[in-house]
Structure 1
Amino acid sequence: MQPVYSDDIAELAVRLHSSASGERRIIGLVGPPGAGKSTLAQRLGRQLGQGSAVVPMDGFHLANSIIDGTPLRDRKGAIDTFDIGGYLALLKRLRDNNEDVVYAPAYRRGLEEPIAASIAIPRSAGFIITEGNYLLADVGPWGRVRRYLDEVWFVELPPKTRMSRLIQRHIDAGMEPGAAEAWAKGPDEVNARYIESTRNSADAIIRCR
């Protein structure tokens, strides 16, 4: 049975500190679109302080210039619309921790594009929080992600709340309300069902409010 924790950031940070061994720890946050992974990761990073870094998997979205005009455009956010090779290479560099600074890409909402070398992770960072949809996927090379992570926490939010927030997120990014709802209940929900199927592989469940 997986342990279940609330999203009390102070308690989660204490839990991480209590399990620290002096070596860098890489913690993964996984969950369906709109569950609050990014918000939780940022809050946890602030609580952990300067000795931490937040690295979103979304920085490895394929650029729109790659997927425009292809069937992938209508499934942006699906597992095959990410550069998994690039993400694995970054995780390996973060695990090896033999460079003074590693630069990672970020995903710019509103622009809806990845931006290279936007996050600087110094060698001194003892905690790395990486968050994304498919950290527990076992399809092809995705199955290698787990080996680089010390723990993976599955982030949950009540379905109605998650859907409402997801639709609003799309609206805030520039979608018309009808299109935002259609995308959230269409491609996003297909992805959410797949992500939910990986829940049992998580080390712990984080219930957000």
Structure 2
Amino acid sequence: MNHLQPVNPGNTAQLAEHLRRRALSGNRLIVGLAGPPGAGKSTIAEGLRRHLGRECAIVPMDGFHLANAIIEGTELRERKGAIDTFDVGGYLSLLARLRLNEEDVIYAPTYRRGLEEPIAASIAVPRLTEIVITEGNYLLAGDGPWARVRSYLDEAWFVELPSETRISRLIQRHVDSGMEPAAAEAWAKGPDEANAKYVESTKASADLIITCP
């Protein structure tokens, strides 16, 4: 695929077929979906999995959020979701295991919205899984150990969405998770938007841009 080629998210069937062809080499394919909060990364990942079926697993970076018990009472709590509120070492270790693919099953964590906590060992990735999609904000970050994430990805795609639509979705997501509307708007336009601006600055490292309407 061409570098920075704009792709409509409605073409998930075409994108899935591209991944299926690449996986024919017999080696596990690891694809990263990066993008700002609320851009639609999880939706694209699920669309790909619908087309790929059992040969595909989704492993979200959000499973490596630091638990609330760790950040409560610290300044990190006021900007949960920022790059330094994740266990990057744990995420890199998982990516390394997924790349080696020497275990019968690798168990990965997920993140439970509403509970707002990571849940350990809640995603099973069997050895025969041909395609692993990992999605999250900071997959293309070049700072410190985050720069090593890119080396584990066969392809890295960036998902973008007009900011007005993205912020509106984030506000609704926070309300659905139990926030009061005013607090949800403040968080979406405050910490979330600060993170989004950082993530946007990493876009040039992507192989493909998926532009959502």
Q: What is the CA-CA distance between 1:207 and the residue it aligns to?
A: 1.2
The TM-score, its normalising length taken from structure 1, stands at 0.98
Which of 2, 5, 13 pairs up with 2:4?
Answer: 2
Q: What is the CA-CA distance between 1:127 and the residue it aligns to?
A: 0.3
Query: 1:14-29 counterparts in 2 under 5 A?
Result: 14-20=17-23, 21-29=25-33
Which of 15, 25, 44 pairs up with 1:12?
Answer: 15
Q: What is the CA-CA distance between 1:82 and the residue it aligns to?
A: 0.2
Aligned length, in residue pairs: 209
Name stretches of at least 5 consecutive residues in structure 2 with no aligned partner.
none
The question of whether the paired residues in 1 share the 8 Å contact of 2:22 and 2:29 is answered with: no
Rounded Cα–Cα distance in structure 2 between residues aligned with 1:77 and 1:96: 29
Query: 1:189-208 counterparts in 2 under 5 A?
Result: 189-208=193-212
Which of 65, 69, 94 pairs up with 1:65?
Answer: 69
Partner of 2:131: 127
Moved more, 74-83 or 11-20: 11-20
Rounded Cα–Cα distance in structure 1 between residues aligned with 2:178 and 2:4: 38
RMSD: 0.8
Q: What is the CA-CA distance between 1:68 and the residue it aligns to?
A: 0.3
Rounded Cα–Cα distance in structure 1 between residues aligned with 2:137 and 2:66: 15
1:32-87 Cα shifts (integer Å, max 9, x gaps): 00001111112211211001100000000000000000000001000000000000
Moved more, 153-162 or 17-26: 17-26
Which of 134, 140, 156 pairs up with 1:136?
Answer: 140
Rounded Cα–Cα distance in structure 2 between residues aligned with 1:132 and 1:13: 19
| 1:4 aligned partner, one-letter code | P
Rounded Cα–Cα distance in structure 1 between residues aligned with 2:164 and 2:59: 27
Rounded Cα–Cα distance in structure 1 between residues aligned with 2:63 and 2:28: 21
Q: What is the CA-CA distance between 1:18 and the residue it aligns to?
A: 2.5
Rounded Cα–Cα distance in structure 2 between residues aligned with 1:172 and 1:43: 22
Which of 149, 157, 170 pairs up with 1:153?
Answer: 157
Partner of 1:86: 90
| 1:40 aligned partner, one-letter code | I
Rounded Cα–Cα distance in structure 1 between residues aligned with 2:33 and 2:211: 12
Runs of 4+ in structure 1 over 2 Å off: none
1:125-154 Cα shifts (integer Å, max 9, x gaps): 000000000000011100100110000000
| 2:60 aligned partner, one-letter code | P
1:102-126 Cα shifts (integer Å, max 9, x gaps): 0000000000000000000000000
Partner of 2:36: 32
Q: What is the CA-CA distance between 1:19 and the residue it aligns to?
A: 2.4
User: What percent identity do the matched residue pairs reach?
Assistant: 69
Which of 182, 185, 188 pairs up with 2:186?
Answer: 182
The TM-score, its normalising length taken from structure 2, stands at 0.96
| 1:202 aligned partner, one-letter code | A
Rounded Cα–Cα distance in structure 2 between residues aligned with 1:86 and 1:125: 21
